[in-house]
Structure 1
Amino acid sequence: MRVLLVEDDSTIGEAVRDHAIADGHAVDWMITIEDAAAALATVEYGLVLLDLRLPDGSGLDLLRKMRVQTQAAPVIILTAHDQISDRIEGLNAGADDYLVKPFDLGELTARMLAVARRHHAGNSSSAIRLPGLEINQALRVLRVNGEEVALSAREWAVLDALATRPGAIVSKARIEDALYAFGSEIESNTVEVYISRLRKKIGRERVQTVRSVGYSLK
């Protein structure tokens, strides 16, 4: 999952970024509202981790702008503000969850997964079903010919990109966006490697290569 982290505390930012990367996510870490807004205009994120007190304003202003612009990426607020009124204001502004600093990184992982599941469930009332293939993005469950198959976080990132519109062509660049953060060095064959791994698990014939364009889930 591609994650946008908006946090100006270097210690917390590094810890959250490194932990999320270890969980298999691609993380873009921004310090200001301006940079975060620019990132949101460039990339489609699966989740936003948002601090409230930022050098150029309140994170709530960014959150409200996201919702006005109908940017549906789920948002978890990370803040030292522990007053009930602050939580209510954040949730009313469109946040999906609220985590008070200091927090356990294990709890952050659980909250991220829970929010992502709810988001997928809200966008789709049922699993994607294709001949011999069932993909439940909300629950992170994949079944091939009735048998449950385990995927790594990055394999899920590729499958999510393909399964958003089964049959449609997904560009290599779109898949790279799901796998990499800004500033990461993109190896030329990374997408091909994960496509190959996915084919081994769901069947080679189910992922079609459209030469010089991208890939399609059949």
Structure 2
Amino acid sequence: MRLLLVEDEAEMAAWLMRAFKQTGYVCDHAPDAASAESLLAVGEYDAVVLDLRLPDKHGLSILAEMRNAGNRTPVLVLTAQGSLQDRIKGLNTGADDFLTKPFAVEELEARLEALVRRSRGSAAQPALQCGSLVRAHGSKAFTLDGELLSLTPRESAALSVLLTRAGTPVEKAQLSHKVFPTASNAGPDAIELVLHRLRRKLAGADVRIVTVRGLGYMLESVKHGHGDA
């Protein structure tokens, strides 16, 4: 997913950029309206995360200009102004969703995923697949060789990340971030147990989870070998 983050608070922007990178998003940052307008003029984004209080222009002015120019990119507004009146004004201007500060980055990412999913249309999104392992778009259920795979929520979360990036190593820290909540007391090796259980459930199938030394973990098709999953 390619995002544009329009946020003038340096600390907030740095935190969000780190979080988006860990999730695997590609994100450009605009600290003011002028930068945002320049980036929007030359780039295409799956979604825009827009702060309202910018140093050179109000965020809703950027939004209004986008919509007037026919730009339908989903826009999620970040704001400390959580009043009903502000929300109504934003929605009437063309905002797709609101999130009031402070917020959890997990909720922000979930809302962005939902916005992009709706904008693309579920029918246009193919199923994720590696070998005989399949997860239908919009579903949390996996099938292996046509049979439903019984997974715990954490196993499902880990397999989702690996399947999305099949054939590419996923860093241990990135995988742990998606499987365990930020506030979890899980130790640094807790992800190893989740992967051990997943490997047992995939045993004998045409897909496997391999450890790529120094790079992380990768889901691959046994038939095709490394890099062809």
Deviations 1:159-210 (A, max 9, x none): xxxxxxxxxxxxxxxxxxxxxxxxxxxxxxxxxxxxxx99x66x98xxxxxx
How far 1:135 sits from its partner (Å)?
9.2
Task: Name the SS of the counterpart of 1:71 in structure 2.
Answer: coil
Q: Does 1:21 align with 2:21?
A: yes
Q: Does 1:4 align with 2:4?
A: yes
Segments of 5+ residues of structure 1 without an aligned counterpart are: 157-196, 205-218
Task: Name the SS of the counterpart of 2:72 in structure 1.
Answer: coil
Distance in 1, Cα, partners of 2:146 & 2:84: 46
Task: Name the SS of the counterpart of 2:77 in structure 1.
Answer: strand
Q: What amino acid maps onto 2:109 in structure 1? A: T
Task: Name the SS of the counterpart of 1:54 in structure 2.
Answer: coil
Task: Name the SS of the counterpart of 1:91 in structure 2.
Answer: helix
How far 1:16 sits from its partner (Å)?
1.1
Q: Cα 1:139–1:86, aligned 2, differ >3 Å: closer, same or farther?
A: farther
Match in the other structure for 1:108:
108
Match in the other structure for 2:58:
58
Work out whether residues 118 and 138 of structure 1, in 8 Å CA contact, stay in contact via their aligned partners in 2: no
Distance in 1, Cα, partners of 2:15 & 2:70: 30
1:8-157 to structure 2, matched below 5 A, reads 8-120=8-120, 123=121, 125=123, 127-128=125-126, 150=160, 155=165
Aligned length: 164
Segments of 5+ residues of structure 2 without an aligned counterpart are: 150-158, 167-217, 225-229
How far 1:155 sits from its partner (Å)?
4.2
How far 1:111 sits from its partner (Å)?
1.4
How far 1:104 sits from its partner (Å)?
1.3
Distance in 2, Cα, partners of 1:154 & 1:29: 25
Structure 1 stretch displaced more, 75-84 or 134-143: 134-143
Distance in 1, Cα, partners of 2:56 & 2:26: 25
Q: TM-score, normalised by structure 1?
A: 0.60
Structure 1 stretch displaced more, 31-40 or 105-114: 105-114
Distance in 1, Cα, partners of 2:13 & 2:116: 20
Q: TM-score, normalised by structure 2?
A: 0.58
Task: Name the SS of the counterpart of 1:114 in structure 2.
Answer: helix
Distance in 1, Cα, partners of 2:163 & 2:97: 22
Where relative contact order (Cα < 8 A, 6+ residues apart) is larger, the structure is 1
Task: Name the SS of the counterpart of 1:78 in structure 2.
Answer: strand
Task: Name the SS of the counterpart of 2:95 in structure 1.
Answer: coil
Give 1 or 2 for the bigger CA radius of gyration.
2
Distance in 2, Cα, partners of 1:109 & 1:35: 23
Distance in 2, Cα, partners of 1:79 & 1:111: 15
What is the RMSD of the two structures over their aligned residues, measured on CA atoms? Answer: 3.6
Q: Cα 1:77–1:153, aligned 2, differ >3 Å: closer, same or farther?
A: farther
Q: Cα 1:128–1:144, aligned 2, differ >3 Å: closer, same or farther?
A: farther
Q: Cα 1:109–1:153, aligned 2, differ >3 Å: closer, same or farther?
A: farther
Identity, in percent, stands at 36
Work out whether residues 81 and 100 of structure 1, in 8 Å CA contact, stay in contact via their aligned partners in 2: yes
How far 1:18 sits from its partner (Å)?
0.9
Distance in 2, Cα, partners of 1:135 & 1:44: 27
Distance in 2, Cα, partners of 1:153 & 1:2: 19
Work out whether residues 79 and 101 of structure 1, in 8 Å CA contact, stay in contact via their aligned partners in 2: yes
Distance in 2, Cα, partners of 1:14 & 1:92: 30
Distance in 2, Cα, partners of 1:90 & 1:103: 18
